[in-house]
Amino acid sequence: MKIQNFEKFSLEEVRVEPARNIIVADGQSCRVEPRLMAVLVRLRAANGEVVSRDTLIEDVWGDDEPNDEALTQTISRLRRVIGDDPKQPRIIETVPKRGYRLMIAPAKGVEETSVTAGAIVGRESNAKQSFSAGWKNFKPAFTQVQLLWAALIIIGGVVLYSTVNKPETERYEVELYLQP
């Protein structure tokens, strides 16, 4: 799906620039990967109608044949970028057993708005970077890594303490005599 031919549009306070792969939400600009933008543009093209998972996979991935998990992860990342909550969606609705749809009609011809931090950050293209604190529903991965390290250090300390402070065991010598 060629997204360069689509003009700018907005979804409530979210501004979308398909030709540049840029989404501006809460004043924060984010450059997203082309497939993420293609999913959003395909949902927009459906004008509020449900787009099936199979149709999205076929239209966006084509011959690459991804699994359903690739689409699920893409929708999850898209929701994170636009600040949409899957449990209480305002923009992208999951229709069980059918697919996805945009819940609001996109507005065309979006005027430029100011963007904080001045430049495009390119966060979504690098999944390891965390999003700014203003972006909703994002839990940074580094806290999970820190918790893992803390658990490993505690476990290592317990093992080391138990081996160093282990009391000496007494040895008994027993002689056995066998009689015929």
Q: Which of 4-8, 70-74, 118-122, 176-180 is predicted with the least confidence, judged by mean pLDDT?
A: 118-122
pLDDT tens, 143-161?
777 778 888 999 988 888 7
**pLDDT confidence of residue 28:** 86
Q: Name the pTM for this structure.
A: 0.58
Distances (CA, A) of 146 to 97, 141, 142, 153, 155: 38, 9, 6, 11, 14
pLDDT tens, 44-99?
888 889 999 989 888 888 877 677 888 899 999 999 998 888 888 889 999 998 99
**pLDDT confidence of residue 131:** 38
What pLDDT band is residue 120 in, cutting at 50, 70 and 90? very low
Rounded to whole angstroms, how far apart are CA atoms 2 and 169? 75
Residue 112 pLDDT > 90: no
State what percent of residues in the chain have pLDDT above 90.
Answer: 23
Residues present in the chain in total: 180
- 27: nearest Cα among 139, 133, 140: 133
**pLDDT confidence of residue 92:** 92
Domains in the chain, ordered, with CATH?
9-136 (1.10.10.10)
Residues 6+ apart with CB under 8 A from 144: none
Tokens of 43: 């949902």
Residue 167 pLDDT > 70: no
pLDDT tens, 1-50?
555 567 888 888 889 999 889 999 888 888 999 999 999 999 988 888 99
